[in-house]
Amino acid sequence: MRSGLPMISRQLRATLVGGTVMLGAALPVPTIADVITSHGISTFGELKYEQGFPHLDYVNPDAPKGGEISVWGFGSFDSMHPYTTKGRSGQLSSMFFESLLEGTADEPDSVYGLVAESLEYPEDRSHVIFNMRPQARFSDGTPLTADDVVFSFETLRDKGLPSFRAVIQKQVESAEALGPHRVKFTFKDGVPTRDLPQTVGSLPIFSKAYYERSSADFEASTLEPGIGSGPYVLDSLEVGQQIIYRRNPDYWGKDLPINRGRHNFDRIRIEYFADYNSAFEGFKAGAYTYRTEASSKIWATGYDFPAIDKGWAVKDTPPDGTLATGQSFVFNLRRDKFSDKRVRQAIGMMFNFEWSNKTLFYGIYERINSFWENSYLKAEGVAGPGERAFLDPIADKLPDGVLDQPVVMAPTSSERQLDRKNLRRASALLDEAGWPVGDDGMRRNAAGETLKVEILNDSQSFDRVINPYVENLRALGVDAVLTRIDNAQMTERERSFDFDMVIGNFRTALTPSTELEQYFGSESAEFSIFNLAGYGTEAVDSLIDAVEAAEDRKTLDDAIRALDRVLRAEVFWVPQWFRNIHTIAYYDMYRYPENLPPYALGTLDFWWFDQAAHDRLKAAGAF
């Protein structure tokens, strides 16, 4: 994990974790006039869990509490404040803070009361009132009140991350405390309000008293985390080496139905390693006990160490129904050399996924083609009537071929590292774009400048993927180089957009909303850390508006597919790969429910510790 910044996006997307809708699903209950009062809210009105539900379906409600789980962190950290651009925040440092509403892992667009016991809103969702639980407490024992919610909103609006501020300032008119445990958010006129109750209900809540008492600067980097109300508190830390979170035995919400069977580990420990290979060696040695394996080579060939051979540790492949992360090489469109799409197409053709998958990945991956890969929302074939309803009105602003040609797919290659057919195609594209081959074999423009492409990388394990790509690009005449930097430099250069190409992610959702503006909106192109490409067009802005304004699931799905089709036609990424299974390994003392939810593995959420299994492993000498 490179920084704590993506946690902000996850906070905003807390309502978008998804799943199925049951027949006879509970609906919010109208009360006075057109005001709806409910224990939760869904984008399209249907809630799976009725008022008074005993627990979430996918948890073990009788899971024991106790034990420790340990994972690894990449590089280092110098801050425990994930809501500022300054410093590199520690992994999981947003876990101290709760929100009014909580999403689930088995619904696409529903959230339920957490700090809020209920919410009230009119049918047009122009405002929302949250009725808070009087028993809610911060970890220092002080009450959590409506004043804290208003303070948190105003702080994020005025001092939060730039991309975060932009969304709030654009859509929310005000927040006001109507009483000690009652808070109202009013939304601006003319903005889509479909998801705004969920958005404001998912904002993190900070202690106003803490910031007033300590005079802490919210925008400054700090190793002292703010006071939150969540189930875990900071136990200890060693800068750049280790963080330990401790379950708070006095956590106010431990008996809520939405929390039953969750937050089961007494301690969550993070051990930091300088690089991927040293982290794997640490797992083999028992320095930490749970690992998600991202390296196909290690997964295929590296798990033959004693702990595995003796059955102390296990490899596991539970299904993964989540959207692919959109992992890709990302072009920085702020650079003039990438302004011509033909240049980007040519560079993309030189990444040989088929060869990489066979030679480097042991055939375990599939190619990403869509920004909604691994879901029913990805665009396919030629645009049908549902998509055309959104595309036809902006036809003059669309890339060529969007309306009448099949959706853009990632280039395919032979199983030889350098695909000669793609080399010829890419060469023709660069010739057309004004980058012919010079006497020295390098591509040059009319000014004599070489077509230089620097790929930044901060992970040693990626060298074996990038180096062949660089070789292929140089065979094309592109002055391509791989530059390895440390993770702190990577964070800084990404934040200042000082790169040609980096490896990034475009994380979407089954029910997307304002986060699309952060990744693809014109207004975010110059400042959003999530919009690494610096991409934004009038056509995509229009489609994002359509996604946000959709009032039923079919309309939303058509709008998403139309957006996916246009984004793929713009070629500002070189998509990489995904799997529809989790590849994980852990010491055999952890358990999870038999029926996992489709949209979360839930390791740190609803897994639990088997004390008897731990004792057997310890007696056998596992640790």
The answer to whether the CB of 247 falls within 8 A of the CB of 232 is yes
Q: What value does the mean pLDDT take over residues 336-355? A: 98
Which CATH architecture does the domain made up of 328-578 adopt? Answer: Roll (3.10)
Crossing angle for the helix pair 420-432 and 341-349, to the nearest 10 degrees: 160
pLDDT digits (tens, 9 = 90+) for 59-94: 999 999 999 999 999 988 999 999 988 888 999 999
Residue 397 has pLDDT above 80, yes or no: yes
> What is each CA distance from 303 to 299, 356, 373, 505, in whole angstroms?
6, 21, 29, 27
pLDDT digits (tens, 9 = 90+) for 223-263: 999 999 999 999 999 998 999 999 999 999 999 999 999 99
Sign of CA dihedral 143, 149, 150, 153: positive
What single string gives the DSSP state of each residue in 412-479?
---SSSS-HHHHHHHHHHHHHTT--B-TTS-BB-TT--B-EEEEEE--GGGHHHHHHHHHHHHHTT-E
Mean pLDDT rounded to a whole number for the chain: 92
Partnered with residue 270 across adjacent β-strands are: 71, 243
| Residue (of 454, 462, 455, 464) closest to 417 by Cα position | 464
pLDDT digits (tens, 9 = 90+) for 401-458: 999 999 999 999 998 999 999 999 999 999 999 999 999 999 999 999 999 999 999 9
3-state SS string over 562-609? HHHHHHHHHCCEEECEECCECCEEEECCEECCCCCCCCCCCHHHHCEE
* Residue whose structure tokens are 């929310």: 172
Residue ranges per structural domain of the chain: 5-63+74-214, 328-578
Higher-scoring residue by pLDDT: 188, 22? 188
Confidence of residue 164 (pLDDT cuts 50, 70, 90): confident
pLDDT digits (tens, 9 = 90+) for 121-135: 999 999 999 999 999
C-alpha–C-alpha distance, residues 218 and 13, integer Å: 22
C-alpha–C-alpha distance, residues 539 and 49, integer Å: 38
Confidence of residue 33 (pLDDT cuts 50, 70, 90): low
> What is the CATH code for 5-63+74-214?
3.40.190.10
* Residue whose structure tokens are 């794997």: 280
C-alpha–C-alpha distance, residues 272 and 88, integer Å: 13
Percent of the chain with pLDDT over 70: 95
The answer to whether the CB of 40 falls within 8 A of the CB of 131 is no
The answer to whether the CB of 15 falls within 8 A of the CB of 104 is no
The answer to whether the CB of 69 falls within 8 A of the CB of 83 is no
Q: What value does the mean pLDDT take over residues 149-154? A: 97
C-alpha–C-alpha distance, residues 228 and 452, integer Å: 47
Q: How much is the pLDDT for 180? A: 98
Q: What value does the mean pLDDT take over residues 128-151? A: 98
Q: What value does the mean pLDDT take over residues 274-302? A: 94
Angle at 318 between CA 316 and CA 321, to 5 degrees: 150
Percent of the chain with pLDDT over 90: 83
Please give the structure tokens belonging to residue 217.
Answer: 């600067």
Q: Helices (DSSP H) in 206-309: which residue ranges? A: 208-214, 276-284, 296-301, 306-309
C-alpha–C-alpha distance, residues 173 and 252, integer Å: 31
Say which range, 265-269, 274-278, 501-505, has the weakest mean pLDDT: 274-278
pLDDT digits (tens, 9 = 90+) for 520-548: 999 888 888 889 999 999 999 999 999 99
Sign of CA dihedral 74, 79, 83, 85: negative
For residue 396, the 8-state DSSP code is: G
Please give the structure tokens belonging to residue 606.
Answer: 């609803």
540: enclosing H helix or E strand = helix 538-549
pLDDT digits (tens, 9 = 90+) for 308-317: 999 999 999 9
C-alpha–C-alpha distance, residues 591 and 417, integer Å: 42
Rg (CA), the chain: 25
- The model carries a pTM of 0.79
Q: Given 3-state DSSP classes, what are the helix, strand and coil percentages for the chain, each rounded to the nearest 5?
A: 30, 20, 50
Q: How much is the pLDDT for 24? A: 34
